[in-house]
Amino acid sequence: MNLEEKVADYLTRRLGAPARIEKMKSLSGGACQDNYLVDLTVEGGTEKGNHKLVMRTDKGASLFASLSRVDEFHVCDLAYQAGVKTPRPMWLEENPAVLGAPFYFMERITGNANGRFVVKDASIANARKNLPAELATSLAKIHSVKPASCKDEALKQKLGRISGEGKKAIALNSVIELRKETSKLKEPHPALEWILNWLEDHAPETDEPVLIHGDFRTGNFMVSPAGLEGVMDWEFAHWGDRHEDVSWLCMKDWRFGKLNKEAGGFTDRETFYSEYAKASGITLSPEKVRYWEVMGNARWACGSAGQAERHLSGMDKGIELASIGRRSSEMEFEAMRLIDAV
């Protein structure tokens, strides 16, 4: 059976009623997963009707700290239950024997996530004005999820980067993890080592650990003329400092040419900070955002270098990994620029 036939057979057995794939199309995925658009008709049972879905499954390449599709599904459900505007997770299959890797289905939402579309397209000019408030509200709801509120002990441990004592533990543990990943690179990266030393020396305190999306940026949320449709791509979720998510949104790499709009290419930092405070009741620290922005650039530089090495080794000759890899030095430079501006 081909992939479409395997999926239809699986869903028929899973849903207890004939399931027919009307359309199945490979979508542009990421470095960690393959995505497929699926139009499904179920002819009976509790799920009878037409469903517009996205199927996500693991693939060979991965960036460090990325969750499996199994864990990602459970995080999606955690966020969905907290009221975050995100696609509804539908069905999870953990057995890799079915398709060769675990996979899950989620509802397909409308809109466009392309970064240049989000920051520049005239068709969403009015929606863009509301993005700071809508995204800040979604982020506040993500951060409302705390370790104590996660009843799934296995998932709680999977999301845990929290060890050690003291309010600086989260930042210092992040530095330790990043050092470990840097040490795996075959080529030396002296600039990255210097940045890591600075991060260790300037680690800030964290008031309380919260759920971090881990890749909260322009390009990972869908927008339509009606506004924000949903936040996607949860594979880097973990417990951490809320400033980390805000800093990732503000990174230069995710502004898509709108460099003067430092928050995602669609608004300024101060506006987003203000909207977040309204939604969460918590005032952000600009100094902590800058610290985590340095951390984010260092992590992105390390991950990019790793993807480049995977490409050069011949393990994955895809052009995507090659294009990601060339960004490593750019991220190192940006991290050093931010440090110099402190």
Q: Which of these ranges, 85-94, 215-224, 278-287, 321-330, has the smallest mean pLDDT?
A: 321-330
Instruction: Examine the domain organization and report whether 199 and 89 are in the same domain.
Output: no
Instruction: Examine the domain organization and report whether 162 and 285 are in the same domain.
Output: yes
275-288 pLDDT, tens digit per residue, is 999 999 999 999 99
Tally of structural domains, the chain: 2
Mean pLDDT to the nearest integer, 173-187: 93
Q: In the listed set 61, 86, 107, which residue is the last one of a domain according to the structure?
A: 107
Instruction: Examine the domain organization and report whether 43 and 170 are in the same domain.
Output: no
In CATH, what number is assigned to the domain containing residue 330? Answer: 3.90.1200.10
Instruction: Examine the domain organization and report whether 45 and 93 are in the same domain.
Output: yes
Instruction: Examine the domain organization and report whether 332 and 192 are in the same domain.
Output: yes
- Residue 34's domain comprises 3-107
Mean pLDDT to the nearest integer, 25-53: 88
Higher per-residue confidence, 321 vs 306: 306
Instruction: Examine the domain organization and report whether 135 and 170 are in the same domain.
Output: yes
Mean pLDDT to the nearest integer, 242-266: 96
Instruction: Examine the domain organization and report whether 130 and 273 are in the same domain.
Output: yes
Q: What is the mean pLDDT of the chain?
A: 92
Instruction: Examine the domain organization and report whether 49 and 156 are in the same domain.
Output: no
189 torsion bin: left (phi>0), alpha (psi -120 to 50), beta (else): beta
In CATH, what number is assigned to the domain containing residue 86? Answer: 3.30.200.20
127-147 pLDDT, tens digit per residue, is 999 999 999 999 999 999 999
Distance CA(217)–CA(101), nearest Å, equals 27
Q: In the listed set 83, 107, 131, which residue is the last one of a domain according to the structure?
A: 107
Instruction: Examine the domain organization and report whether 232 and 259 are in the same domain.
Output: yes
Instruction: Examine the domain organization and report whether 140 and 100 are in the same domain.
Output: no
Instruction: Examine the domain organization and report whether 176 and 270 are in the same domain.
Output: yes
Instruction: Examine the domain organization and report whether 95 and 22 are in the same domain.
Output: yes
289-315 pLDDT, tens digit per residue, is 999 999 999 999 998 888 877 777 777
Q: In the listed set 79, 107, 135, which residue is the last one of a domain according to the structure?
A: 107
